[in-house]
Amino acid sequence: MHTKKTSEHILLGASKGLPIFIGYLPIGFAYGILAMQAGFTVLDTMLMSVFVYAGSAQFIGVGMVAASSGIIAIILTTFLVNLRHLLMSASLAQRLKGHDKRKLALFSYWITDESFAVNSSWMRKEKYIHLTSLFSVSIVAYLGWITGSLLGALVGSQPIDVEKYGLDYALPAMFIILLIYQLENKKYIFLGLLAGILSIGFSQIVTHNLHIIIATVAVSTLGVVISRWKPTAR
């Protein structure tokens, strides 16, 4: 029996999402500054965070706008960068069977690399987690991104050297921490190393950050195969 009150489910999820909220503040702040320096207004900057809500895609989009790239190129590039969300959504969907599809569709909107990492790791360790708690993780993270973006946009009209304060390193730092949290056993360590090696290798062949996507898809597929493979008894 799962008799916790809704407020308890919310608070439980919020406690899991709080580290992401804190981590998103400097990243969102950096994005807000870069967006303003690229010619965005405060409203433009906030609308992008509210409706796109994809850190890496937003950074790339802002950079391409600043470089006067065409709209088609921007759309295609951000689409390719966000293809990994299909893998993340599919992975979580396997563990959320039986829930209202409308709720799952809404839940999928708030999936990010960080909330996925926290929720999927949590779901591996616990037999049952209320959907409200999972929502809470994602929404708290979302609020962190919105808050950081707003703060960055408000000060972004001033001349600020992003590299001087290390804000350009905020996003890679977050990904490194998330990777460390995922290295729970030898299998994950192997897959993490393989992803890095493949990404470096593919970077010599393809451009526009596609090497990261190719390596991610390849290693994710291998991970699924390994997790489902069972040696035949002899």
Q: What is the mean pLDDT of each run of 10 residues along the chain (234 residues)?
A: 76 93 90 89 95 87 82 80 81 84 89 89 85 94 96 83 66 69 81 89 78 79 76 51
Q: 95 with 198, same domain?
A: no
Q: 113 with 221, same domain?
A: no
Q: 108 with 46, same domain?
A: yes
In a domain, 193, yes or no: yes
Q: 69 with 157, same domain?
A: yes
Q: 155 with 104, same domain?
A: yes
- CA dihedral 19→21→22→26, nearest 10 degrees, is 140
For the chain, how far is it from start to end, CA to CA, in angstroms?
42
In a domain, 212, yes or no: yes
Q: 164 with 98, same domain?
A: yes
Tokens, residue 4:
């916790």
Residue-level pLDDT at 167:
64
Give which of 119, 116, 146, 136 is closest to 53, Cα–Cα: 146
Q: At what angle do helices 210-228 and 186-203 cross, to 10 degrees?
A: 150
Residue-level pLDDT at 141:
95
Residue-level pLDDT at 125:
85
Q: How far apart are CA 60 and CA 76, in angstroms?
A: 11
- Number of structural domains (the chain) is 2
Q: How far apart are CA 175 and CA 54, in angstroms?
A: 14
Q: 41 with 134, same domain?
A: yes
Give which of 167, 154, 59 is closest to 48, Cα–Cα: 59
Q: 116 with 189, same domain?
A: no
Residue-level pLDDT at 234:
47
* Alpha-helical segments (H) within 70-209: 71-81, 84-93, 101-109, 113-125, 131-155, 170-182, 186-203
Task: Assess contact for 77 and 67: CB atoms under 8 A.
Answer: no
Q: 83 with 134, same domain?
A: yes
Q: 144 with 190, same domain?
A: no
Q: 76 with 138, same domain?
A: yes
Give which of 144, 137, 136 is closest to 7, Cα–Cα: 136
DSSP state of 167: G
DSSP state of 39: T
Write down how long the chain is. 234
In a domain, 1, yes or no: no
In a domain, 142, yes or no: yes
Which residue range(s) make up the domain with 190? 183-229
Placement of tokens 């407020």 in the chain: 7
In a domain, 173, yes or no: no
Point out the domain boundary residue: 143, 168, 193: 168
Residue-level pLDDT at 220:
76
DSSP state of 163: G
In a domain, 178, yes or no: no
Residue-level pLDDT at 175:
67
Q: How far apart are CA 5 and CA 133, in angstroms?
A: 11
